[in-house]
Structure 1
């Protein structure tokens, strides 16, 4: 008999934002932002690193961990996003939606902080 395991999710993303890490963190901390970016994920803070980011344990659609690491670089911040865990629903669909939602959301924050409108 072969045991079936849940599909593994492994998302890595980087986005440059021409703003200080504290401004990026403040934008991510606005009410409802992370809920819109990560629907279906229940989060529990594992480590709050202030202007350097946050690590969470996740439940819901994905059981595992998620992290936003804010790396200060000349001229701005690189927003690193990591999600690793086991997916509850069918393989691939949730992960593709997550990647698209994340990119759209982080680019909305980028545009706002950099003074651009879409």
Structure 2
């Protein structure tokens, strides 16, 4: 079991194929997780992507796209352990673990909310999705 085991969900009122295209763009991961070396190990098409994680963290990250009603739920998972600059395992606990978890939870949330804001532009709250 990894020290960090984070999950978050965000509803986007756009079809999964639209969100999948954004997540598959090479700039997507680099924009939101620039400190991490992310390598795709599973391109799941309209269902999302999975990456191995290296750098200050070692583990896996996944964005799973689930069709729900007239949109998509973006599920974000990060399961990783912190590494010291020399690449050795870095034990973290207490308040430091809380700060580390918050840092990476916020990165995932920021990615999801910025996608939501951009892809739902022009949609009336509570109204139908914007045609693509």
TM-score range, shorter chain: 0.7 to 0.9
1:86 aligns with 2:81: yes
> 1:3 is matched with which residue?
none
The secondary structure found in structure 2 opposite 1:84 is strand
Choose the corresponding residue for 1:75, options 70, 73, 95.
70
Give yes or no for the alignment of 1:17 onto 2:12: yes
Contact 2:24 2:49 survives alignment (8 Å):
no
Match for residue 117 of structure 2 among 102, 111, 118: 111
Give the alignment partner of residue 107 of structure 2, picking from 88, 93, 101.
Answer: 101
Point out the structure with the larger strand share: 1
**In structure 2, how many angstroms separate the alpha carbons of the residues matched to 1:19 and 1:83?**
24
Deviation, 1:83, is 0.5
Query: Which has more radius of gyration?
Result: 2
Supply the distance in 2 between the matched residues of 1:95 and 1:109 (Cα, whole angstroms).
22
Aligned-pair CA distance for 1:31: 4.3
What is the rounded CA distance, in whole Å, between the counterparts of 2:106 and 2:22 in structure 1? 19
Deviation at residue 9 of structure 1 after TM alignment: 0.9
Q: Give the gaps of 5 or more residues in structure 2.
A: 85-91, 123-132
TM-score by length of 2: 0.74
Q: Which has the higher contact order (CA 8 A, sep 6+)?
A: 1
Q: CA RMSD in A?
A: 1.8
Structure 1 length-normalised TM: 0.82
**CA deviation profile, 1:35-86 (whole Å, cap 9, x unmatched):** 1211221112221110101111111111111101000111100000111011
Residue 43 (structure 1) aligned to one of 38, 43, 47: 38
